[in-house]
């Protein structure tokens, strides 16, 4: 029998877990031809999430949980999940029921047809502010223009991945992760299925503006060096203009004399160039920072326990 793992990162999800578990058992009950595993990753929750997972595990052996040693963020929590799941394929979904469990059946259909990465495409984005929506779309367009890898808009982590893809993703141990880009980067046979994204039922979104901005910058800096290229091009352009202007100023001073003036020009030039240089330095810094973080070569996460005891993931 083929084994399907459902991977759910959970951070402070005590309100959502009972309902999620009910829904999942319902869906799973209607698909008896598969063996199931529910893999929860407790991402350092501060509420009763861990206790609830222990209770679930006690009454249902299909439930497994990885307890991380602190909050590492969803991207890393997913990697921990990849390391510990045992299924022939893995369905990743959020704990807050924004990802409807009934889609699992559709995913499996496509998987049986031979697709290795079945991703869900949001038809609508649920309740989100207009600003957040338009920022997201602009961001994707930007990302699209600067990378060779296609990163799909309106596609998230809600998807089914074949064991093959999971093994590929496990090899990519970036500390600052942008999994959404990685799915695209690894290739594999992909297909999208549409779904209606619901609203978070309980609790609140864990992403604030800062966290999203961080994810966005990670997305760009981990997939492309286009910003560096942009700074170089910008530098060349400015230098060319400056050179032409220099000749002009020189000749003017030579032939017409130089009654000291031009303070505004001077200020504008200094401030503008200062600004451009700082931006350039900042962009350079982003990449140097990433090199710093990756060269430390630390394990990406540490676990407290797997189902209550310590265990290394299988190779």
> Which of ligand UDP, Mg ion, none does residue 43 bind to, with CB < 5 to 8 Å depending on kind?
ligand UDP
Written as one string, the DSSP assignment of 111-134 is HHTT-SEEEEEESS--S--HHHHH
Pick one of Mg ion, ligand UDP, none as the site partner of residue 207 (Cβ within 5 to 8 A by kind): ligand UDP
Q: DSSP character for 162?
A: E
Stretch that binds Mg ion, among 61-69, 192-200, 247-255, 271-279 (CB under 5 A): 192-200
- The residue count for the chain: 315
Q: Judged by CB under 6 A, does residue 37 bind ligand UDP?
A: no
Tell me if 161 sits within 8 A of 190, measured CB to CB.
no
* DSSP E strands, the chain: 3-10, 35-42, 63-68, 89-92, 117-122, 155-162, 190-195, 303-306
83: contact with ligand UDP by CB under 6 A: no
Stretch that binds ligand UDP, among 69-77, 84-92, 251-259, 261-269 (CB under 6 A): 69-77
The verdict on 14 binding ligand UDP (CB under 6 A) reads no
Nearer to Mg ion, 177 or 200 (CB): 200
When binding is defined by CB under 5 A, the residue of 200, 223, 231, 306 that contacts Mg ion is 200
Query: Minimal CA–CA distance to 45: which of 67, 21, 25, 18?
Result: 67
Nearer to ligand UDP by Cβ, of 207 and 248: the residue is 207
Question: Residue 314 CB, nearest distance to ligand UDP (Å)?
Answer: 22
Question: Residues 83, 305: contact at Cβ < 8 Å?
Answer: no
Q: Does 5 bind Mg ion (CB under 5 A)?
A: no
Residue 11 found at the interface with ligand UDP (CB under 6 A) = yes
Instruction: Using CB under 5 A, pick the residue from 42, 98, 179, 197 that binds Mg ion.
Output: 98
Tell me the C-alpha distance between 127 and 197, whole Å: 9
């Amino acid at each position: 029998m083929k084994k399907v793992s459902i991977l759910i990162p959970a951070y402070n999800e005590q309100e959502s877990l009972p309902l999620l578990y009910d829904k999942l058992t319902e869906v799973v009950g209607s698909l008896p031809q598969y063996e199931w595993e529910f893999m929860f990753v407790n991402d350092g929750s501060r509420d009763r999430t861990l206790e609830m997972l222990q209770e679930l595990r006690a009454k249902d052996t299909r439930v497994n949980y990885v307890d991380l040693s602190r909050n590492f963020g969803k991207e890393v929590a997913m990697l921990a999940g990849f390391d510990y799941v045992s299924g022939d394929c893995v369905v990743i979904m959020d704990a807050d029921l924004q990802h409807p469990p009934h889609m699992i059946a559709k995913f499996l259909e496509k998987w049986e047809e031979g697709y290795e990465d079945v991703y869900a495409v949001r038809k609508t984005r649920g309740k989100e502010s207009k600003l957040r929506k338009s920022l997201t779309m602009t961001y994707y367009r930007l990302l699209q223009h600067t990378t060779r890898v296609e990163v799909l808009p309106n596609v998230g982590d809600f998807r089914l991945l074949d064991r093959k893809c999971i093994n590929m993703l496990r090899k990519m141990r970036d500390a600052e992760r942008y999994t959404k880009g990685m799915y695209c980067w690894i290739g594999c046979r992909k297909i999208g299925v549409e779904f209606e994204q619901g609203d978070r039922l309980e609790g609140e979104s864990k992403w604030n503006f800062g966290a999203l901005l961080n994810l966005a910058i990670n997305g760009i800096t981990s997939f492309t060096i286009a910003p560096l290229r942009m700074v170089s091009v910008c530098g060349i352009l400015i230098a060319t203009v400056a050179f032409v202007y220099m000749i002009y100023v020189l000749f003017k001073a030579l032939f017409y004399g130089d009654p000291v003036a031009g303070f505004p020009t001077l200020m504008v030039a200094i401030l503008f160039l200062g600004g451009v240089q700082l931006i350039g330095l900042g962009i350079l810094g982003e990449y140097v920072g990433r090199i710093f973080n990756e060269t430390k070569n630390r394990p990406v996460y540490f676990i407290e326990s797997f189902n209550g005891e310590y265990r290394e993931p299988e190779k």
